[in-house]
Structure 1
Amino acid sequence: MNKPISEACLRNQGPIAAALKERLPNAARLLEIGSGTGQHAVFCARELPHITWQPSDLAQNHDGIKLWVTEAALSNVLEPLVLDVDQAWPSMKVDHVFTANTVHYIADESVVNMLAGISCLIDKDGLFMMYGPVNINGEFTSEGNAHLDEWLKACVNPLAGIKDLADIERMAKDQDLVLIDNLAMPANNRLLIFQKQSLN
């Protein structure tokens, strides 16, 4: 089996790693939700050697992730965990959570489940960093994103699609995750940085 390769990951991994490096200066353990091919785990862990990177995904993607992780042989990348945001989550604690290009592939209900799970995994001041396309005030930010949304609904899941920033903020805030940064990224994507707030 050859290592799976995501062309999108090849394009965005550099800018993502650079942004994470600015925001994660201290040693920490980070969970990646929806690791996909495993490319982000390996690239970012190499760029951020002080971060212990915990990949996770559905079981069917683990073989590909393991090929990348094994070849890289980095001491700060762990074996992938099985994680389905709509099922029971692993019992664990991490300092931060990252996900790339997952939210637009899943239904709103699954996004709520993901945010609830993340809020349970991190403590106050922990970060959740979400990369991907978002709509602004109900509008697509590019023609490419509009075509992507159409494809997702037709070919992946009728309940999938690009989410509106305001809706993501609201769902996150319900789980004590507050948006503190919104960074422009390549190809009409954003990197949204949420911080866990103390419970009121």
Structure 2
Amino acid sequence: MKHSSPAALRNRDPILGVLRDWLPASGEVLEIAAGTGEHALHFAAAFPDLAWQPSDPASDARASIDAYREEEGTPNLKPALHLDVTAEHWPIARADAVLAVNLVHISPPEASTGLLAGSARLLQPGAPLILYGPWRVEGELLVYSNHAFDEKLKERDPRFGLRELTAFAAEARAAGFDLAERRDMPANNLMLRFERRAD
């Protein structure tokens, strides 16, 4: 059964604009926590030379992704994988890029640790790990909408909430990634490109 996310429909084109600059020309993109599948459908259609591999830990999300794929998908959009970022082993051996939209703040800290560790196993040096979402940035005022969103997330689960970018970048460095670029996005979000460092 297909599900729809108003936020995904709003942000897919701004995200796509940045992905045009950041994704490789060919290869395989692993999308983590692909949710409804609307991003995967939109991005796969925009990048016909990339194999688009969506994944999600939730069975209803995977069902939605596959419903979009079967009804509206392109040949390069793969069936959804069951992937839990905290797992030691992921059901994919390699990727040329990893994308996670609205994951880090709507998950416990161990999900971020798992995302970094798993992406480091998959990606070759120079390959991107791309994140989208709201962040706390040291020295920058947290706008009211993000402050309210942060409080709402913490009410849902005290482990959730906007992460501090400097601290996350330090964790990423320890996992083998350097923060290569940051782009300001609509609705007070950021896109971040981390680059896999050569060991």
* Number of equivalenced pairs: 197
CA contact (8 A) 1:138 1:164 kept: no
Deviation, 1:25, is 4.7
The 3 A distance-change label for structure 1 pair 72 and 140 is farther
Moved over 2 A (4+): 138-141
The match for 2:63 is 63
Runs of at least 5 residues in structure 1 that lack an aligned partner in the other structure? none
Question: Partner of 1:162 in structure 2?
Answer: 162
Deviations 1:71-98 (A, max 9, x none): 1230110001101112232241011100
Provide TM-score, normalisation by structure 2.
0.94
Unmatched 5+ stretches in structure 2: none
Q: CA RMSD in A?
A: 1.4
Change over 3 Å in CA distance of 1:164–1:111 after alignment to 2: same
Question: What secondary structure, in the 3-state scheme, does the structure 2 residue paired with 1:130 have?
Answer: strand
Percentage of matched positions with identical amino acids:
35
1:132 aligned residue: 133
Distance 1:150 1:140, change over 3 A: farther
Tell me if 1:20 matches 2:19: yes
- TM-score, normalised to structure 1, is 0.94
User: Corresponding residue for 1:189?
Assistant: 189
Which amino acid is 2:4 matched to? Answer: I
SS in 2 for 1:30: strand
Q: Do 1:134 and 1:140's aligned partners in 2 also have CA atoms closer than 8 Å?
A: no
8 A contact 2:56–2:83 mirrored in 1: yes
Q: 1:46-65, CA deviations, whole angstroms, 9 ceiling, x for partnerless residues?
A: 11111111000013221111
Q: Distance in 2 between matches of 1:182 and 1:91?
A: 27
Q: Distance in 2 between matches of 1:36 and 1:91?
A: 18
* C-alpha contact (below 8 Å) 1:141/1:188 kept by paired residues: no
